[in-house]
Each structure stands twice: as structure tokens, then as C-alpha cells.
Amino acid sequence: MSSRSNDDGIFHDINDDHGGHSNDDNASGNHKAFKFEIANNQVTAVYELKNGELDRKSLDDNGRKFYTVDGSDVIRTEIKPFGTEITRYSDTDGDGLYLRVSEQWQISPNANGAIPKFTGPISYFGTSGDDHIAVRGGEDCHGGSGSDDFIFREADHLRIEDFHSSEHDMLIFDTGLGLTSREQLAQYITDSHHDGQNFIVNFGSNVSITLVGVQPDQVSWDDVSVMS
């Protein structure tokens, strides 16, 4: 464990055995990690762990988001063009760092723009059952042993650690990205290749999907769904 304080008296603690990652990582155990200051059951400050340092984040983002305490968890509600995004954070090992465990998008009656199709809860951690898994940048994306749906809702460099077509896993692109078909999605692909270990699909230089340990013949368009 190493500690360093800054002028505001807050200690930045990096636990070397929390995932075993160095200070160069932006996450804890390959998941984005957050710290919350809580007083009188109210969140008073939010930090994201980046490169071994706690980076203070806006509490309200000009009125577009707010935090509440639910037992030992923290809930963030953020206003989006389609409605609200509700994210749950949990500190499961008691080290003071919270990880995102689930999110759910709720559509408002006056939603505009590209409206997401899937409105059920999606998880950042897989189970032994059939799961809906969030695919997010900076996250160690794992399903479980069941038939998992990996749901894409953002354009970033994304990695899935355990995609298995043989287990009927699916890659699902939500309509929140504005896509309407697999044919339309295919038009944005600029390159796909195998690097000797992983299957990688590039959508220009700033967006990619890496299927870790997957061979080219272990994934096909039959494993892809675009919600429309």
C-alpha cells in the first residue's frame, strides 16, 4: 500500500493487491474505479482513479446528474437525450474503491435523437447464468458460463475477454448508436484481422473491438445483432 496526500488533506491510496495493477492503470482490476466521500448519507465528492491518482469529478455536471446512497452502494442518475441512465456502484471488498456493477437506461416520453432499444439492466460482471453484459471502454469485459449478450452502447476501444460463439454468446449493438442493421454496421469497418492471439475489428483509428483469444473462424455475422 502506498499513500500520498495533497493540499486538501485527502489521501490517495493505491492498494497493490487490489487487482495487482501498477499506477499506470486507469482502473482497478481492469475495471474503472471510483471513490466517494459520503457524509450524513449524502455523496459530497466523487473521484475516479486514473494513473494511480484520484481525479475529482463533478458532482452534478451542471444539473445533469446526481448521486444517492442506497445501503452500502452509490447510485448515479444522469440525464440523457433519451431519458436517464442509472448506474450502480459497489465496494464489494471494502477497500474504499467502488466499481460499476450495473446500469439501466430509462426512456422518457419526449426522448429525441437515437433512442436505445434495450431498457433492461445490464451488468459489468458475468455470472453462471445468461447475462446482459455492458461493453465499455476501460472495462475488463467478462461474461460467465451461460449464453451472454455483450451490449455495445459507445464508440471506443473495446475488449471482450471471453466471447464464445459455441456458448451462443451474442454481440449486440443497441440503437443508441444510431445503427439500424448489420449491413450498415459493416460499412463502418475499416479493417479486421487476427494478431496471432486476438480477433480485432477496427472502425477507423479511434474505435475498435477486440475479441480476446478468438480465432477468425470462431465468430461470424450470425453472432451479431443490431437492435432496430
In a domain, 45, yes or no: yes
Contact 173, 121 (CB under 8 A): no
CA angle 94, 97, 103 (to 5 degrees): 105
First to last CA, the chain: 48
**Considering the domain boundaries, does residue 116 fall inside one?**
no
What the block records as the C-alpha cell of 144 is 460467465
C-alpha span between 48 and 95 (Å, rounded): 14
- The 10s digit of each residue's pLDDT in 151-189 is 999 999 999 999 999 999 999 999 877 888 999 999 999
pTM of the model: 0.82
Residue at grid coordinates 449491413:
183
> Within this chain, do residues 61 and 132 fall inside the same structural domain, yes or no?
no
Q: Closest by alpha carbon to 179, among 162, 146, 155?
A: 155
Say yes or no: 153 and 183 in one domain. yes
| Residue 17 domain boundaries | 2-107
Per-residue pLDDT tens for 59-86?
999 999 999 999 999 999 999 989 999 9
Residue 221 lies in a domain: yes
- β-pair partners for 112: none
